[in-house]
Amino acid sequence: MSSPIAPAAAAPEEKLVFVSSCKLPMPWATFELHAFYDEVSGKEHLALTLGDVGNGEPVLGRVHSECLTGDALFSQRCDCGAQLEAALKKIAKEGRGVLFYLRQEGRGIGLLNKIRAYHLQDQGADTVEANERLGFPADMRRYTIVLPMLAHLKITSLRLMTNNPRKVKALEDSGITVAERIALIANHNPFNIGYLGTKARKLGHLLPGLAKTEEKPEKVPLDAHDNE
C-alpha cells in the first residue's frame, strides 16, 4: 500500500466567502442551497436551508461532514448517508432548518486516505486504529468554518442533530451556540455495526446498545442484505 497523502496543513483561520444560492427540489421539500468558498483551503462548503432560519429562534440543524462513499455511493460501511437523509427528513417535517455540508471527507483525512483506512479496516483495524496507523488523529475536523455561514444566514443558535457530544463541545468551543442536542439514530446493518460500536466506545458517540460491538475483518455473507 502506498504512503498516505498528507491533508493540507490546517490554516490558523478560514476565509469564507458567499458565492451564490439557488432552489434545490428534493424528495422531501424544496430547499435553498447556499454555496460558500474558502479562499484559504480552496474548498467549497454548502448549506441547505428551509423556512425562515434568520428569525432569532434556535434552528433545527445538522453539521454534516462529506462522505462520498456513504452519501453518494450508498456504502453501508458507515451511517453517514442514512444520517444525512434522516436529518433532511426531520427538517422537512418541521418546515424549518439548516444542514451544513462541510468538505471534510474521512473525518478530515481526505478521500484517498479514507480508502487507505478502509483497506486497513479490511485487515482487522478499527476506524480509529486505521487513522492512527496512517499517522493521523482519530478526528481532524474543524468547525470554525461554520461561523461565517451562520452569520450569513443570520442563525444565532442550533438545535443540533447529532449523537456525538464531542461535536457539540467542538462547535461550542468554536463560538457556536448549541441550544439543544437531538439524537439522530440510523439503523445499523451487518457491515457497519462494528464501526458504530467503535464510535460509541472510542469516540464517545451516544449509540445505545452498540458500545460492546467490535469491528471484525471477516467477510459478511453476500446475502446479508436479504433480511434488512
The residues annotated as belonging to the active site are 139, 141
Query: Sheet holding 30-38: strands in order across?
Result: 16-25, 30-38, 44-50, 97-102, 59-65, 158-161, 178-182
**Torsion angle, alpha carbons of 119, 124, 125, 130, to 10:** -10
Rounded distance between C-alpha atoms, residue 216 and residue 193, angstroms: 10
What contacts 31, CB < 8 A, 6 or more positions away? 23, 24, 48, 49, 50, 88, 91
DSSP-derived 3-state class of residue 122: helix
9 half-sphere exposure, CB direction, 13 A CA radius: 2
Residue at 103: amino acid letter: R
**Angle at CA of residue 215, ends 4 and 181, nearest 5°:** 90
